[in-house]
């Protein structure tokens, strides 16, 4: 099994990582990531996301076993580990990469129908499903899991994670709209069909106020922050109660769920099939 072989190779001393057998193992591992045969996190039948820690350990092994190499292209100097260069892509892969500076690292699954606008960057271990658009200046971080028909708007930042190996990556489920300049970090889960308005920032310590259901959403020691299905989230603020803060009128930013998707929301966020 590939996972057993990766876990065995992790314990090898550094001077053995350049052996033909280890380099062939890493090539097989990266190919399995590129084709979506393995992934760093995957959903079970109940919609719970399970972290595949051995995959993240394998990615770290690629860094450890890599040798610095000149990978300069187009007159621009680039130097990186030889194991983690650019993902091999052909026309038959069905990925639309618009000219202008996009880079997709090897070890990523990028499905047919994905559109990458320039400049954008997709890092190793990430998984991007069919019909998703990665817009200009957007980042898909290490091991992030992006569903079908997601729109990552301009300058959206989807955080990555490698350490610790068991940490949950950011997960964006199907049909989510992520507005411009949003940031989603530290294992936050965005459930299907949610909408993040421009400028929403979510991380492991963010507190989200659901105005519709009059409840407060936050991460716990056992579970990450989850934005519910169909939730529409916008930036908001809440007052700080200390005397100093009241005196100076200070507040902190707080995302607010102001509604759940309806026909009006669907009309405003509808994806254009012609673009795909």
What's the whole-number mean pLDDT along residues 208-227? 96
Residue 140 has pLDDT above 80, yes or no: yes
pLDDT computed for residue 193 by the predictor: 98
List the beta bridge partners of residue 109.
127
pLDDT computed for residue 243 by the predictor: 95
76: pLDDT confidence band, cut at 50, 70 and 90? Answer: confident
Residue 22 has pLDDT above 80, yes or no: yes
pTM (predicted TM-score) = 0.94
Taking residue 91's Cβ as centre, other Cβ atoms within 10 Å add up to 6
Note the pLDDT tens digit of each residue in 29-49. 999 999 999 999 999 999 999
Q: How far is CA 276 from CA 134, 183, 260, 272, in A?
A: 12, 25, 27, 7
Q: Which residues of 121-134 are buried (b: 16+ CB within 10 A; e: fewer)?
A: bbbbbbbbbbbbbb
Residue (of 96, 61, 98) closest to 81 by Cα position:
61
Note the pLDDT tens digit of each residue in 153-192. 999 999 999 877 778 899 999 999 999 999 999 999 999 9
User: For the chain, what percentages of helix, strand and coil (3-state, to nearest 5) are there?
Assistant: 20, 25, 50
Note the pLDDT tens digit of each residue in 191-201. 999 999 999 99
**Domain residue ranges in the chain:** 2-67+84-268
pLDDT computed for residue 100 by the predictor: 92
CA–CA dist 76, 101 (Å, integer): 11
Are the beta carbons of 127 and 52 closer than 8 angstroms? no
pLDDT computed for residue 164 by the predictor: 78
Do the strands 103-104 and 121-122 form a parallel or antiparallel pair, or are they unpaired?
parallel
Q: How far is CA 190 from CA 39, 73, 78, 129, 233, in A?
A: 18, 36, 34, 15, 11
75: pLDDT confidence band, cut at 50, 70 and 90? Answer: confident
Provide the mean pLDDT of the chain: 95
Are the beta carbons of 128 and 109 closer than 8 angstroms? yes
Q: If one looks up domain 2-67+84-268 in CATH, what number appears?
A: 2.160.10.10
Note the pLDDT tens digit of each residue in 221-236. 889 999 999 999 999 9
Note the pLDDT tens digit of each residue in 83-106. 999 999 999 999 999 999 999 999
Are the beta carbons of 62 and 84 closer than 8 angstroms? yes
CA–CA dist 67, 125 (Å, integer): 19
Q: Which residues of 207-231 are buried (b: 16+ CB within 10 A; e: fewer)?
A: ebbbeeeeeebebeeeebbbbbbbb
């Amino acid at each position: 099994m590939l996972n057993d072989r990766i876990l065995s190779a992790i314990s090898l001393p550094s001077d053995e990582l350049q052996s033909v057998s280890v380099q062939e193992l890493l090539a097989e591992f990266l190919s399995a990531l590129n084709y979506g045969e393995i992934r760093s996190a995957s959903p079970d039948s109940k919609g719970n996301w399970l972290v595949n820690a051995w995959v993240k350990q394998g990615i770290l092994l690629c860094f450890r076993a890599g040798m610095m190499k000149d990978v300069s292209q187009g007159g621009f100097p680039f130097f990186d580990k030889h194991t983690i260069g650019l993902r091999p892509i052909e026309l038959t892969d069905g990925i639309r990469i618009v000219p202008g500076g996009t880079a997709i690292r090897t070890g990523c699954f990028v499905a047919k129908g994905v559109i990458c606008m320039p400049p954008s960057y997709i890092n190793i271990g990430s998984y991007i499903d069919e019909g998703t658009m990665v817009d200009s200046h957007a980042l898909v971080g290490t091991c992030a899991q992006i569903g079908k028909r997601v729109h990552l708007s301009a300058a959206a930042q989807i955080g990555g994670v490698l350490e610790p190996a068991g940490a949950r990556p950011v997960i964006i489920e199907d049909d989510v709209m992520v507005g411009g300049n949003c940031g989603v970090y530290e294992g936050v889960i965005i459930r299907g069909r949610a909408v993040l308005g421009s400028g929403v920032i979510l991380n492991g310590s963010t507190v989200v106020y659901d105005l519709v259901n009059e409840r407060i959403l936050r991460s716990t020691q056992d579970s990450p922050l989850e934005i519910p299905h169909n939730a529409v989230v916008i930036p908001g603020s809440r007052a700080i109660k200390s005397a100093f803060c009241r005196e100076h009128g200070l507040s902190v930013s707080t995302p607010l769920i102001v509604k759940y998707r309806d026909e009006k929301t669907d009309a405003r966020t509808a994806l254009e099939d012609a673009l795909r």
